[in-house]
Chains A and B, each alone.
Chain A
Amino acid sequence: MGNIISVQHLTKKYKEVIAVNDVSFDVEEGEIFGFLGPNGAGKSTTIKMLTTLLLPTSGELRLAGTDVIKDQAQARKVFGIVFQDPSLDGDLTAYENLQLHAVLYKLDKKKTVQRTEELLRLVELWDRKDSLVKTFSGGMKRRLEIARGLLHHPKILFLDEPTLGLDAQTRNLLWNYIERLNKEEGMTIFFTTHYLGEAEAVADRIAIIDHGRMVAFGTGEELKTQTGKENLEKAYLELTGTAVRDETISSADNRRDLMRRVIANR
């Protein structure tokens, strides 16, 4: 199967910082792709550029063959996204939020009714479907947000830290559902997470970025072999710890310099 997401030399510069620096990678159709990195690494900025919310400074982006920068309208037809931060309307009910989404994504009425019930039951909000969202707790909002993202079954689904703040049971339930969508409908899943065990368990391939640059790319196994670590968490720390290691080298260099000077002075 071909590449459904193609990112070439993607760069986003702000006045003082380079959020994303010459990042390139491809995601294959039907893949579950984990996009990992520490806070501030450039994950969300990359997702925003892929989902037409931000224009890149330079580089090329393609979703299902469509140039995301040149043809935003077409690109928006192929993906769905669950944002990292809230994007619900608190003055509408849970049901109304989903209904609005279904209309925006032109989902037919029968599927809307059927999937709305299925998803609201999945995230255990069916009995609260007519409550205003502003009365929900943080976890309930998060679950509703995910249910909404899963409503219209896009070709590519972006999930930006979807399981943040959810308990283990709900996380498990959601990943089972998402994996089923991936298998049954061939939906490509692109997700970020800070739970490395989660990434190791579900991702076919993983990219790790840090300070706006890609530091590793491959299957979980490959990353573990590359770093010689027994699990992804340790491999990840090894890889994203490069900055720390650089500092260690330079201080070691300093120490050597000092030693040399001390020796020379003798």
Chain B
Amino acid sequence: MNAIYILWLRQMKKYRRSGLRMVLSIVQPLVYFLALGYGFNYIFEKAGHGSYIQFIVPGVIAQTILFTSIFWGANIIFDKQFGFLKETLVAPVSRTTVMLGGSLGGATIAVIQGVALFLIALVFGFHPYSWPALMGTVVFMTMLAFAMVSFSSAIGAVVNDMPSFMAVTNFLVVPLFFLSGSMFPLDNIPGVMKVIAAVNPLSYAVDAMRSTLINQSHFGLMTDFLVMTGTMIALTIFSILRFRRIEA
């Protein structure tokens, strides 16, 4: 068995055993979907943009993944506090392996949550424009999940206590989410917000999912892909470098 695989498997087992938490973490995005989707549908349609329920689904899938993955680093803090991290740090495996094994686990969990939300959305009448294009959606879900899990792991590697970790991630997650075009189209917003959305990597993830789910795109799928790839690679390298510096 491979070290990355066993570290991934560890996270899968822990996830499966987390019981109710698995279900609870999907409630928040589901509320966004139902409340905003049905709440704004009428106005959105009146304004000539079509169904808001269709529009918001890629946004809440991205939200589910963002929220699951950006708090992933909390697990690194727990591993520090419960001491398990030391077990992996002295083992004859590279810090890259330790980081990748855990992050792949976190990314898998985030994608599972995203897919679960998609399935619930289907029940509420969401219909993707093309079934084969869903393959693309899953690819972008994975890229977003892995990028954000890596980023969060890096924060978990640097910070040693839970309050500081929560302060940093809460500070980041709200602007990332609300300034990304996950809830509204980016076409007719003021210039400043457009600039902010353009430097927010989540905008490209949302755009890519919207592109593959309902065939609407702001940046273009190729741009989305390149930005997401770049973000993912940069954040993974950043995280590996932070892991190399962990002392216990």
B131: Cβ under 8 A from any A Cβ: no
- Whether B248 contacts A54 by the Cβ 8 Å rule is yes
Chain A min CB distance to B75 (Å): 10
Knowing A90-B82, A103-B1, the reply to whether A48 touches B248 (Cβ < 8 A) is: yes
Contact mask for chain B residues 14-26; partner A; CB cutoff 8 A; 1 contact, 0 none: 1001000000000
B187: Cβ under 8 A from any A Cβ: no
- Whether B14 contacts A73 by the Cβ 8 Å rule is no
For B92, give its contact among A73, A89, A99, A132 (CB under 8 Å): A73
Give the residue name and chain of the B residue nearest to A51 (CB).
B90
Residues of A within 8 A of B86 (CB): 53, 83, 87
- Whether A85 contacts B247 by the Cβ 8 Å rule is no
Knowing A96-B13, A100-B10, A103-B1, the reply to whether A88 touches B83 (Cβ < 8 A) is: yes
- Whether A92 contacts B92 by the Cβ 8 Å rule is no
Q: Which of B85, B86, B87 has the most CB of A within 10 A?
A: B87
Sample of 9 A–B contacts (CB below 8 Å): A76-B90, A83-B83, A87-B82, A91-B14, A92-B13, A92-B14, A96-B10, A101-B87, A104-B92
Residues of A within 8 A of B88 (CB): 104
Chain A min CB distance to B87 (Å): 5
Chain A min CB distance to B192 (Å): 43
A81: Cβ under 8 A from any B Cβ: yes
Query: Which chain B residues (63-85) contact chain A, with CB distance < 8 Å?
Result: 82-85
Residues of B within 8 A of A132 (CB): 17
Q: Which of A73, A83, A87, A88 has the most CB of B within 10 A?
A: A87
A residues with a Cβ closer than 8 A to B are: 48, 51-55, 73, 76-77, 79, 81, 83, 85-92, 96, 99-101, 103-106, 132
B residues with a Cβ closer than 8 A to A are: 1-3, 5-7, 10, 13-14, 17, 82-94, 247-248
Residues of B within 8 A of A48 (CB): 248
Residues of B within 8 A of A81 (CB): 90
Chain B min CB distance to A5 (Å): 15
Give the residue name and chain of the B residue nearest to A149 (CB).
B87
Which 4 pairs of residues, A with B, have the shortest CB-CB distance?
A: A87-B83, A104-B91, A103-B6, A76-B92
Give the CA-CA distance A51 to B89 in the complex, in Å: 9
- Whether A53 contacts B94 by the Cβ 8 Å rule is no
Knowing A73-B92, A76-B91, A106-B92, the reply to whether A54 touches B247 (Cβ < 8 A) is: yes
Residues of A within 8 A of B90 (CB): 51-53, 76, 79, 81
Residues of B within 8 A of A96 (CB): 10, 13
Give the residue name and chain of the A residue nearest to B86 (CB).
A87
Give the residue name and chain of the A residue nearest to B91 (CB).
A104
- Whether A85 contacts B13 by the Cβ 8 Å rule is no
- Whether B6 contacts A100 by the Cβ 8 Å rule is yes
- Whether A86 contacts B6 by the Cβ 8 Å rule is no
Residues of A within 8 A of B83 (CB): 83, 85-88
Give the CA-CA distance A103 to B6 in the complex, in Å: 7
Give the residue name and chain of the A residue nearest to B98 (CB).
A104
Chain B min CB distance to A159 (Å): 13
Give the CA-CA distance A228 to B87 in the complex, in Å: 42
Give the CA-CA distance A77 to B6 in the complex, in Å: 18
- Whether B247 contacts A86 by the Cβ 8 Å rule is no
Residues of B within 8 A of A91 (CB): 13-14, 17
